[in-house]
Amino acid sequence: MPLSMLRPGETGWIKEIVGGRKAKGKLNDLGFVSGKQVKIYRSSGGPLIVGIGDNRIALGKGMAHKVIVDTEGCEN
């Protein structure tokens, strides 16, 4: 499911990044790669705040749709 559907406090594992070269490249740069664990810190109203390890990334809804996650543990 897309990352945008997770609720605050929930974690997921990135399965894949969909979308154009630019969006994908930008997400990859910031550490959004398959197999990574992400946690949602905020999702109400504006953009999401997503935690990858120690990093906190603000992610617009459009971008969050491009990140496909699994909520079950999945070791890639």
Partner 1 sequence: MALNKTSRKETEVKIALAGNPNSGKTTLFNELTGSRQHVGNWPGVTVEKKTGHAFYKEYALEVIDLPGTYSLGAYSEDEVVARDFLTAGQYDLVLDIINSANLERNLYFTIQLLEMGVDLVAVLNMADEAEKKGIKINKHKLSQMLGAPVVETVASKGRGIENLLAETIKNRDLTEPALEINYGAEIEDLITEIAKLFMEYDFTNQVNHRWAAVKLIEHDPEAVKLLEREVGSSKAKKIKSLIAERELKAKDDFDNIIIDKKYELINKIITESVKAPAAGQEPENMSDKIDAVVTNKYLGIPIFLVVMWAIFKFTFTLGDPLIGYIETLFEVIGGWAGGLLTGLGASPLVASFITDGIIGGVGSVLVFIPNIFLLFLAIGILEDSGYMSRAAYIMDKVMSKLGLHGKSFIPMVIGFGCNVPGIMATRTLENKRDRIISILINPLMSCSARLPVYVVFAGALFPNHGSTVVFSLYLLGIIMAVVMSGVFNKLLFKGERSHFVMELPPYRFPTAKGVFIHMWEKTGAFLKKAGTIIFSVVVLIWVLANLPLGVEYASANSFIGHFGRFVAPIFKPLGFGSWQAASSLVFGILAKEVVVGTLGVVYAAGETGLRTVLATQFTPLAAYSFMAMVLLYTPCIASLGAIKSETQSWKWTLVTAGYLFVLAWVVAFIIYQGGMLLGLGA
* Amino acid (one-letter) located at 3: L
Angle (CA) 50-29-40 rounded to 5° is 10
Residue from 10, 39, 68, 74 that binds partner 1 (CB under 8 A)? 39
Contact 61, 47 (CB under 8 A): yes
Least gap, CB of 1 to partner 1 (angstroms): 19
- For tokens 């664990």, name the residue: 37
Least gap, CB of 71 to partner 1 (angstroms): 14
In angstroms and rounded to an integer, the radius of gyration of the C-alpha atoms of the chain is 11
Interface mask toward partner 1 for 9-38; x: CB under 8 A = --x----x----xxxxxxxxxxx-xxx-x-
Q: Footprint of partner 1 on this chain (CB under 8 A)?
A: 11, 16, 21-31, 33-35, 37, 39, 41-42, 44-47, 49, 51, 53-60, 62-63
